[in-house]
Chain A
Amino acid sequence: MSKPEKPFFVGYLPVQQALRRWLLVVCALFVVGLTGIGMVMGTAQDDPGPGAFRFDYGRQTVSGVVELTPYPLVRVTVGNDRIKPGTTLMLVGQGKSNVDARAVPLEGQLAKVSGIVLQRGELNMLQLRGGANGLAAEEGEAPPQDSIPLGRWKLAGEICDGKCLAGAMRPGRGLAHKACANLCLIGGVPPVFVSSQPVDGSEFFLVTGPDGTALPKSAYDAIGQFVSIEGEVERRGDMLVLSIDPDSVEVLD
């Protein structure tokens, strides 16, 4: 006695009658299901924000005073149409690299910087060109730069890596970006804290450890998560700097 033949699907042959209803149901569920999942996941995503590489500006070259927080900054003294004097630029290298080796010898000196701007609201960063083309000492005496202490604050928000947040990645923050942010910070990219609400008109803070040290490695585990944090805030040009107390970092519910 022979067994009844089991229908078998072959893509390039006409569909067998016994399989037609089953295939129609599967196809309908597939289209509706994937559309639904796509819509749910899409609507669950946060707005990546307005940060971006400003390639439309072209290469920007300005002069200013190099400061170390210890993360390198340039306080712009001679700007251009895009970058006005008084702007504070965080400096970063290509990829997930820093420019400390070039910036440290120029601390407190006048320098010319050149590169591509990353911009997110009032947060400005410059990805430098290589070598002396990106950062070089300039003739002249560096004008003194003020630093205005704003006291000790308790804030809530997220520690991010400054480059991705400023526009190198979209999204450049959040839990899904945690691994990338950690790799950036291990590479020496300046960390930035995004506050739930602004302080002195700004929601972005360059983050350092206490007493002019780099962000403590104990804080890396809390990157990409929403935390409360305490520290001293100071204003350097149009940028706020937050020197955190590492023991105060608490992950929120």
Chain B
Amino acid sequence: MNAAELILMCAQIWGVVGFVVALAFLSVGIDRIDEDARGAYFFRPLLIPGILVIWPLVLWRWYKYESGTDAWPARYAPPRKSHFAVGLILPAGIAVIIVAGLAVRQTWPSDFAPVQIEKPMVDTQ
């Protein structure tokens, strides 16, 4: 298995697990943790694409609500504290990625002339 097939297989596994989590959460979990969602069904399929991507976070939040250990104000404090640093790191990271990409860029081998190593075995004349 090459790198491309490995990445593709990992993405497929992630998506399949995400779909199972989506079915469980949207059919059972959402009613248990969000009283506003009870009796509302048509919006639920719209959540499937998002759950496919962030299903570990969905499971984690579901567990926190179910176990009663969620402290909602604390969820917002860490992002606020790190806004300034993230605001600097993000553009700097993008710049580093662009510069690194340009640095490792190959040069098209336009000077390389094809070399015939062996003549054809069969005489076509």
Residues of A within 8 A of B (CB): 41, 44, 46, 148-157, 175, 179, 182-183, 185-186, 195-199, 217-218, 220-221, 223, 225-226, 228, 230, 252-253
Instruction: Report the minimal beta-carbon distance from B105 to chain A, rounded to whole angstroms.
Output: 7
Separation in Å of the A12 CB from the closest CB of chain B?
22
Q: How far is the CB of A188 from chain B (nearest CB, A)?
A: 13
- Return chain B residues, CB-CB under 8 Å to A195: 114
Interface string of B24-43 (1 = CB under 8 A from A): 00000000000000000000
B106 touches A226 (CB 8 A): yes
Verify A230–B117 contact, CB threshold 8 A: yes
Q: Are A151 and B105 within 8 A (Cβ)?
A: no
Q: For residue A155, which residue of chain B has the nearest CB?
A: B114
B3 located at the interface, meaning its Cβ lies under 8 Å from any Cβ of chain A in the complex: yes
- CB contact under 8 A between A220 and B3, given known A148-B124, A156-B112, A157-B109: yes
Q: Considering only CB atoms, which chain A residue lies closest to B4 in the complex? A: A182
A49 to chain B, nearest CB (A): 12
Number of interface residues of B (CB under 8 A): 28
Interface of B is mostly: loop
Q: Which residues of the other chain, A, contact B111 by a CB distance below 8 angstroms?
A: 196
A153 in contact with B5 given A148-B124, A175-B105 (CB within 8 Å): no
CB contact between A183 and one of B8, B107, B117, B124 (< 8 Å): that residue: B8
Q: What is the CB-to-nearest-CB distance from B65 to chain A, in angstroms, rounded to a whole number? A: 35
A155 to B110, CA, bound (A): 11
Q: Compute how far the CA of A199 lies from the CA of B115 in the bound complex, rounded to whole angstroms.
A: 9
**With contacts A182-B2, A217-B2 known, what are 12 further pairs, Cβ within 8 A?**
A41-B98, A149-B121, A151-B118, A153-B114, A153-B115, A153-B117, A156-B112, A157-B109, A175-B106, A183-B8, A198-B114, A199-B114
Q: Is B122's CB within 8 Å of the partner chain A?
A: yes
Whether A156 contacts B116 by the Cβ 8 Å rule is: no
